[in-house]
A and B are shown apart, each in its own frame.
Chain A
Amino acid sequence: MPQKIDDYALIGNMRTAALVGRDGSIDWLCLPRFNSSACCAALVGTPDNGHWSIAPRDGVESVERHYRGDTIVLETIFKTPAGEVALIDCLALPRSEGQAIDLVRIVEGRAGQVPMRMEALFRFDYGRVPPWSRRRNYGLHVLAGPHALQLRTPVGLDIGGDACTAGFTVAKGERIPFTLTWHNAYRQEPDGRDPEQALDETDRWWRDWSSRYAQTHEYREPVIRSLITLKALTDSETGGMVGAPTTSLPEHPGGKKNYDYRFTWLRDATFTLHALIRSGYDEEARLWREWLLRVSAGHPEKLQPMYGIDGEWRFPQQRLDWLRGYDNSRPVHIGNQAYQQRQIDAYGEIVNAVYSAHEHDLDMNEEDWTAQLRLMEFLEGHWREAGAGIWELGSKQSDYTHSKVMAWVAADRAAKTIERFGFKGDAARWRALADTIHQEVCERGYDATRNTFLQRYDSQALDAALLRLPIVGFLPADDPRIVGTIDAIRKELTQDGFVWRYSDWLGRRTSEGAFLICSFWLADDLILLGRRDEARDIFERLLSVRSDVGLLSEQYDPTSQRLLGNMPQAFSHVGLINTAHNLTLEQSNKGN
């Protein structure tokens, strides 16, 4: 039985990330990038698929974890009868030169004398290929194909068997470092990096970054943790943001809905942009805008819902048959076929994001606008086409109401950009398009008998994405049709304040967990309706399901009280930030 998804904490350096279990084991580590193959893949397999654990040899009585201040440096404190020890884990900031990546783990004696055990078993290419191991004066060097790792430590290593192990004792006040450095196997081995110095620099950098969040309010702590998480999931060089750092953590334990989230969804990234702008992180927003131009300009007709972190556009899905999956949830996938889907809402997300960048005085220029106009010209001719919708239901090409609403958003924001910011263009043309779409949606996407908007024009199913209608300004929150939709969703898709994504035509919820961002949207709607106390209730319930270190995955199962799906998930943390701001900021009633 693997650890719970909640039991994994994130460390990261904005190039890649790792998951560290409460037991001190790194069970997921992709090197050198988020989307590289994993050399520790126990998370979606067994310990034999690669892990790196450091923990007391025996007798752990309690484990307590936290991030050090406003950083992504993790501290895990093990109490044993023999004493107390802290394990400090961080992915160091990227070096200024070269491609090497350093993961630093420092064992710090806090009380007594604790016998410890380290076990490093690396299996490259997602837990499959054992490397070739050699002893070095600094410790261990392993290599396999293009990948090489140095494990540097003053502790004596036992290199004979499958795993590299070490037994050592740490006394109060002692600090024992382990540094794992990835490098290209075909290049010179890089020099070692002082682990204490790397830790200090990294710690300081994160504190500095976090201190730029200027707002003080009761939800500052969860908001900062969410911002740090989003930042950690954003590639510092290209500006692309992964949906989550993992693949194939199941939406339903033992189930087949296991996907690779180590890609950049336009939707997630634009939501993140909103959250960052509202939190005062303009530089990140600018980086993202450049990323967006690079992937979308030049060929608006080929806009994909998702791209690789660097903007790659083809990543066919493969199954990794040798991995048994998290909690036997097979298959484990890499790549993601959803890149081939058409999701009309992506256009609306982009135009809306750029519009709100304008609103916040980020310097958008003619170049951006020209690219936008091309998207609009394409959308004008294609918004009526069926798509896969926000939930990527590839098998059900349909007229998703939410997608059409986002097409309306695109046209509406295009008109406003011309009207309000003086860009050249035909505002009336886009206003007319917006009106046409609005009318069609209200006619065909709305069920007057039930007084609710529907998931698709041709279906009776409900969809939590419809909670976004008042948020994006399609209709005011107090419009009876919106009130009716919120009521219907609360009745049919909600349990204990947690909202499921959609139901089938019989009103049955999908067999997965509640989708966390949808629950945040419900809170947002209630705020817009002026029902702040109800909203606050839901929000605080959502805060309570965060893991011990403040992280959220994609979904939550209220019955087993477990987080489900890829972890941590950007989308959920974006929801948290936006709702916190809606609850606390002056301009909260503007939504989004």
Chain B
Amino acid sequence: MAQRIEDYALIGNMRSAALVGRDGSIDWLCLPRFDSDACFAALLGDRNNGRWLIAPQNEVKKTTRCYRDETLVLETTFETESGTVNLIDFMPLPREDANVVDVVRIVEGREGSVPMQMEAIIRFGYGKVAPWVRRKDYGMQAVVGPDALQLRTPLDLHGRDKTTIAEFTIKAGERVPCVLTWHLSYREGPEEHDAADTLHETERWWRDWCSNCSVEGEWRDPVMRSLITLKALTDTETGGMVAAATTSLPEQIGGERNWDYRYTWLRDATFTLYAMLLSGYKDEARRWREWLLRAAAGDAEKLQIMYGIAGNRRLPEQELEWLAGYESSKPVRVGNGAYTQTQIDVYGEVMDGLYTARRHGLQPDDDTWNVQLELLRYLENHWRDADSGIWEMRGPPRDFTFSKVMAWVAVDRAVKTIDREGLDGDADHWRLLRDTIHEEICDKGFNKKRNTFVQYYGGEGLDAALLMMPLVGFLPPEDPRIKGTVEAIQQDLMQDGFVMRYSQEEGSDGVSGTESAFIVCSFWLADNLAMMGREDEARELFEKLLSIRNDVGLLSEEYDPRTHRQLGNFPQAFSHVGLINTAHNLMRNKAGPAQHRAEQTPDMA
């Protein structure tokens, strides 16, 4: 059985990622890309679905973990009766040949002498297919169809029940490497890279990258860890970013709300762009803009809310019935049917992201603006359409207030781009449309009786996404309607101090079961409080959120305050984006970026 979600740590190389448990077992690894089939899938099943364990043979008295400073190199320290040992795990930077991926594990003796075990159970195709294993002078090779894995190690390996095993003892000062290298089975196996050299290079690369971060002060550490995590979830070749490294970690233990997040959502990715720019990373923003142009190019009508990492469009959803699911949360899904949904808000997010990029000095170019104008023309005719909303409701389409707000954002940013950046366009025309949308939202999306904006036109329910309204500058934070909305959310959508996504009755969103607090929404609440000048409350909430990060600083999508467990896919970009933005808001005493974003709209209706 898999461990608690927060017991996992991420390692990655910006092409793929793995989850390493506190027990020294890699229980999730997709090769060669984030969205490839997993060859270790114990996370969603049991050890027979594939895992790679390196750990002491005898009882571990204490386990501590950390990332090596400002890197994605993980160090797990096991203390045992007979001594202490370090396990250093990382994925080296991609080789020149994109079709080779390495995972390196180095066992390092610290004290005494520790009997260790290594157990590699390779199951390709998400834990289903055992490979054809051959002994090699460097260790062993496992092959299934197009996939091949080399396991290089000086350890003496033997096979038992489709499992590769080694038992060895490590003494203080000794180092033993185990290097797993994926390659295409029909090509020559790649040459060996020295484990110690790659460790050195990988560390240096991450530290270099971190040194470009403009954030200083009390929250540099959590912000830096979040930035590293976002970077690790961004494909270095295509610029596409996955929302999380996993699929089907449940929103509710034992429930069916299990989705595949190894895709690029326009929403999550533009939010990430914003957090990156805020922290001084322009190059990532530039790459993301190129990605967006390729994906969105051609036909605004066919803009999807999400794409594959390379910009591919079809992501049909399947259930993997042979996996028992994380703590029996079935089904396990790959692909994501949400790719066919309409979510009007993505137009707003894309327009806002590109506007922000320009404001941060990213060279404007005509191609981008032309695509933007096309999106805008489409939106003009479709902003009134009902949609599935930001939370990807699988029920009937509705007029979600947040979607309309983001339509307003799209048009607002167009007006500003024309006004402030001097690009070609009919500003007056778009100003008119912007006012029309604003008026309609204030009319139909606001419930006077409750003095709050509501989830959808004519409804009564609340929606934490409405906390974005002042952040994007739809209304100022001190507007009574915004104050009322924040109050309503604080009153009705909170659970033990954390914010839930929306008012929920069983099945109201088209899926059975319920969920816990949605982490990014709590960050939004902190942003709202900060903008209203309620600094202390904001800081208190932020620190509470920091406290639920796991031991190595990672957040999943949701948190259950009753059981104190992280839930949902892990680690999740959206949550880390929230962390970064709120930290920025709090770090700059008054004119935080949330206010900045709002202040970009002085000529608002």
**Which residues from chain A sit less than 8 Å from chain B, CB to CB?**
124-125, 128-132, 134, 143-146, 185-187, 237-239, 290-291, 293-295, 297-299, 302, 307-308, 310-314, 316, 318, 367, 371
Q: Which of A125, A131, A132, A312 contacts B146 (CB 8 A)?
A: A312
From 130 to 153 in chain B, residues with beta carbon under 8 angstroms from any chain A beta carbon are 130-134, 142-146
Other than the given A294-B132, A298-B142, A302-B129, 14 more pairs (CB < 8 A) read A131-B298, A132-B293, A132-B298, A143-B294, A144-B297, A185-B294, A294-B185, A298-B129, A299-B132, A299-B144, A310-B145, A312-B145, A312-B146, A318-B316
Q: Is the interface of A mostly helix, strand, loop or mixed?
A: loop
- Cα–Cα distance between A128 and B314 once the two chains are bound (Å): 11
Instruction: Establish whether residues B145 and A371, one from each chain, have CB atoms under 8 Å apart when the complex forms.
Output: no
CB distance from B240 to the nearest CB of A (A): 9
Instruction: Establish whether residues A294 and B311, one from each chain, have CB atoms under 8 Å apart when the complex forms.
Output: no
Instruction: Establish whether residues A290 and B186, one from each chain, have CB atoms under 8 Å apart when the complex forms.
Output: yes
- Who on chain B is nearest to A185 by CB? B294
- Taking A130-B299, A145-B310 as contacts, is the C-beta distance between A298 and B133 under 8 angstroms? yes
- Chosen A-B contacts, 9 in total, with CB atoms closer than 8 Å, are A129-B313, A145-B294, A186-B237, A186-B294, A187-B237, A298-B131, A298-B133, A299-B131, A367-B134
- Cα–Cα distance between A128 and B304 once the two chains are bound (Å): 13
Q: Which of A186, A308, A367 contacts B238 (CB 8 A)?
A: A186
- Taking A145-B311, A318-B316 as contacts, is the C-beta distance between A295 and B298 under 8 angstroms? no
CB distance from B164 to the nearest CB of A (A): 13
* B312 in the interface (beta carbon within 8 A): yes
CB distance from A206 to the nearest CB of B (A): 23
- Cα–Cα distance between A10 and B298 once the two chains are bound (Å): 30
* B291 in the interface (beta carbon within 8 A): yes
- Cα–Cα distance between A313 and B37 once the two chains are bound (Å): 11
Q: Which of A134, A145, A291, A313 contacts B313 (CB 8 A)?
A: A145
Q: Which of A131, A146, A307 contacts B310 (CB 8 A)?
A: A146
CB distance from A31 to the nearest CB of B (A): 13
CB distance from B314 to the nearest CB of A (A): 7
- Who on chain A is nearest to B239 by CB? A186
Instruction: Establish whether residues A145 and B307, one from each chain, have CB atoms under 8 Å apart when the complex forms.
Output: yes
Q: Mark B310-339, 1 if CB is under 8 A from A, else 0.
A: 111110101000000000000000000000
Q: Which residues of B contact A238 (CB under 8 A)?
A: 146, 186
From 279 to 321 in chain B, residues with beta carbon under 8 angstroms from any chain A beta carbon are 290-291, 293-295, 297-299, 302, 307-308, 310-314, 316, 318
- Cα–Cα distance between A302 and B298 once the two chains are bound (Å): 43
CB distance from A305 to the nearest CB of B (A): 14
Instruction: Establish whether residues B145 and A186, one from each chain, have CB atoms under 8 Å apart when the complex forms.
Output: no
- Who on chain A is nearest to B145 by CB? A311
Q: Which residues of B contact A291 (CB under 8 A)?
A: 186
Q: State how many residues of chain B have any CB contact under 8 Å with chain A.
A: 41
Q: Which residues of B contact A310 (CB under 8 A)?
A: 145-146, 184, 186
Instruction: Establish whether residues A131 and B145, one from each chain, have CB atoms under 8 Å apart when the complex forms.
Output: no
- Cα–Cα distance between A299 and B367 once the two chains are bound (Å): 51
* B222 in the interface (beta carbon within 8 A): no
Q: Which residues of B contact A144 (CB under 8 A)?
A: 294, 297-298, 311
- Cα–Cα distance between A129 and B314 once the two chains are bound (Å): 11
CB distance from B31 to the nearest CB of A (A): 13
Q: Which residues of A contact B131 (CB under 8 A)?
A: 298-299
- Who on chain B is nearest to A302 by CB? B129
- Cα–Cα distance between A111 and B369 once the two chains are bound (Å): 49
- Cα–Cα distance between A295 and B142 once the two chains are bound (Å): 12
CB distance from A403 to the nearest CB of B (A): 23
Q: Which residues of B contact A187 (CB under 8 A)?
A: 237
- Cα–Cα distance between A145 and B291 once the two chains are bound (Å): 8
- Taking A146-B238, A146-B310, A185-B311 as contacts, is the C-beta distance between A294 and B143 under 8 angstroms? yes
- Who on chain A is nearest to B370 by CB? A132
In the A-B complex, list the 10 residue pairs whose CB atoms are closest, starting with the nearest. A311-B145, A132-B297, A145-B311, A298-B132, A297-B132, A310-B146, A146-B310, A130-B298, A186-B238, A238-B186
CB distance from A319 to the nearest CB of B (A): 10
Instruction: Establish whether residues A129 and B311, one from each chain, have CB atoms under 8 Å apart when the complex forms.
Output: no
CB distance from A493 to the nearest CB of B (A): 37
* B125 in the interface (beta carbon within 8 A): yes
Instruction: Establish whether residues A318 and B186, one from each chain, have CB atoms under 8 Å apart when the complex forms.
Output: no
CB distance from B502 to the nearest CB of A (A): 32
Instruction: Establish whether residues B130 and A298, one from each chain, have CB atoms under 8 Å apart when the complex forms.
Output: yes
- Who on chain A is nearest to B309 by CB? A146
Instruction: Establish whether residues A313 and B125, one from each chain, have CB atoms under 8 Å apart when the complex forms.
Output: yes
